[in-house]
């Protein structure tokens, strides 16, 4: 409770610092949202032209794109400080040390050190693309479908955040941030924009059981869009989605704790 209130205060301070230049902030937020629209429009136009993608039509694919982008956007609002270049700089410049000297959970201190307001633009527009895709696909919004979509948004956000956390944990070992992580955050979100049907069974396995983006995006989409899943990824896996997300998040949390114990600081 106390920690939550303090976290909110710290995040408020980071927001206030960002708000010092409101014009720039607004432009960046709109820009981040516009990028999502452009990306979605590009794919939708291509699909309109060529028909469908493994039986998935433009609206269906837009639904997937929107979920992935919304997850990245919301996760990056807090998680941007964990991203490889930013976090590596934090470590190399020794700015992690004062955060470690606070009587406060280190992770909460790190994520509230800076917030990326512009990423909210991406998240909100992502949700818009989800809604548009569902409308195109002729989805009738029942409470059940709304709940599954909300679950997908939460889980996708959590998984992107956990991937960022894993990357930060590895930075605590190597000091140099690895762009390898970006392949999983942005790459993961981008790949989950495609229906898993188009991937080989090996890649499908990775997306479901290793980095569970498939469980957070594709499987919920099957429910909302009333589709059958690709071989090995039935819609019934939805029950596993929250469990797998929690397990993945826990693994990332443990890696982070290990990383902090290994942290070597810098300079003298």
Partner 1 sequence: MIEAAGLTKEFRTRRRRSVAVAGIDLSIAAGEFVGYAGPNGAGKSTTVKMLTGILVPTSGSLTVDGLVPSKQRRALAARIGVVFGQRSSLWWDLPLARSFDLVRHLYGVPAVDHERRLGQLVELLALGPQLQQPVRSLSLGQRMRAELAAAVLPAPRVLFLDEPTIGLDVEAKAAVRGFLAELNRAEGTTVVLTTHDVDDLVVLCRRLLVIDHGRLIHDGAIEDLPRLFGGHRVLVVDLLEDRPLDVAGARLVRSEGPRRWLEFSPAEVSAPELVARVLTAAEVRDLTLEEPDIEDVVRRIYRGEVSEPTPPPRSSGAAPAGAHDDHPRTGS
Q: Which residues bind partner 1 (CB under 8 A)?
A: 2, 5-6, 9-10, 13, 16-17, 20, 93-95, 97-98, 100-105, 261-265, 267-268
**Angle of helix 22-50 versus helix 58-79 axis, rounded to 10:** 150
Q: Compare residues 6 and 182 and give the one whose CB is closer to partner 1.
A: 6
Are the C-beta atoms of 242 and 155 separated by less than 8 Å? yes
For 142, the token pair is 């029942």
Residue 267 CB, shortest distance to partner 1, in Å, is 7
Minimal distance in Å, beta carbon 202 to partner 1?
A: 31
> Do 217 and 71 contact (CB within 8 A), yes or no?
yes
Q: Assign 53 to helix, strand or coil.
A: strand
What does the alpha-carbon distance between residue 84 and residue 89 come to, in Å, rounded to a whole number? 8
Q: Where are the alpha helices (DSSP H) in the chain?
A: 2-18, 22-50, 58-79, 84-92, 96-100, 106-111, 118-136, 143-174, 180-191, 201-205, 213-216, 218-225, 241-262
For partner 1, the closer CB: 55 or 105: 105
Compare residues 42 and 257 and give the one whose CB is closer to partner 1. Answer: 257
Which residue, 21 or 228, has its beta carbon nearer to partner 1?
Answer: 21
Residue 89 beta carbon to partner 1: minimum distance, rounded to whole angstroms: 13
DSSP 92-115: HTTTHHHHHTSSS-HHHHHHTS--
* Residue 104 CB, nearest approach to partner 1 (Å): 5
Do the beta carbons of residue 115 and residue 11 sit within 8 Å? yes
Nearer to partner 1, 6 or 136 (CB): 6
Is the torsion defined by CA of 194, 198, 203, 207 positive or negative? positive
> Least distance in Å: CB of 93 to partner 1?
8
Residue with smaller CB distance to partner 1, 24 or 46: 24
State the minimum distance, in angstroms, from the CB of residue 163 to partner 1: 25
Q: How far is the CB of 257 from partner 1 (least distance, A)?
A: 11
> With respect to partner 1, which residue has the nearer C-beta, 142 or 266?
266
């Amino acid at each position: 409770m106390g920690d939550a209130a303090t976290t909110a205060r710290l995040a408020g301070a980071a927001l206030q610092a960002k708000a010092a230049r409101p014009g720039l902030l607004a432009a960046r937020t709109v820009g981040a949202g516009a990028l999502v629209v452009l990306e979605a429009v590009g794919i939708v136009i291509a699909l309109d032209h060529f028909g469908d993608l493994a039986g998935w039509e433009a609206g269906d694919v837009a639904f997937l794109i929107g979920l992935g982008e919304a997850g990245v956007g919301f996760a990056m609002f807090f998680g941007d400080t964990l991203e490889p270049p930013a976090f590596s700089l934090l470590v190399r410049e020794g700015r992690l040390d004062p955060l470690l000297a606070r009587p406060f959970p280190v992770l909460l201190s790190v994520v509230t050190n800076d917030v990326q307001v512009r990423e909210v633009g991406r998240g909100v527009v992502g949700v818009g693309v989800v809604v548009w895709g569902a409308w195109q696909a002729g989805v009738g919004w029942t409470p059940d479908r709304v709940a599954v979509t909300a679950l997908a948004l939460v889980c996708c956000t959590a998984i992107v955040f956990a991937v960022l956390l894993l990357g930060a944990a590895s930075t605590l070992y190597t000091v140099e941030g690895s762009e390898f992580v970006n392949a999983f955050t942005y790459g993961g979100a981008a790949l989950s924009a495609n229906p898993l049907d188009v991937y080989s069974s090996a890649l499908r396995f990775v997306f479901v059981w290793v980095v569970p983006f498939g469980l957070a995006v594709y499987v919920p989409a099957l429910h909302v869009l009333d589709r059958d899943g690709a071989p090995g990824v039935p819609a019934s896996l939805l029950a596993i989605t929250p469990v797998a997300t929690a397990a993945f998040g826990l693994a990332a949390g443990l890696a982070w704790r290990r990383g902090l114990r290994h942290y070597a600081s810098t300079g003298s």
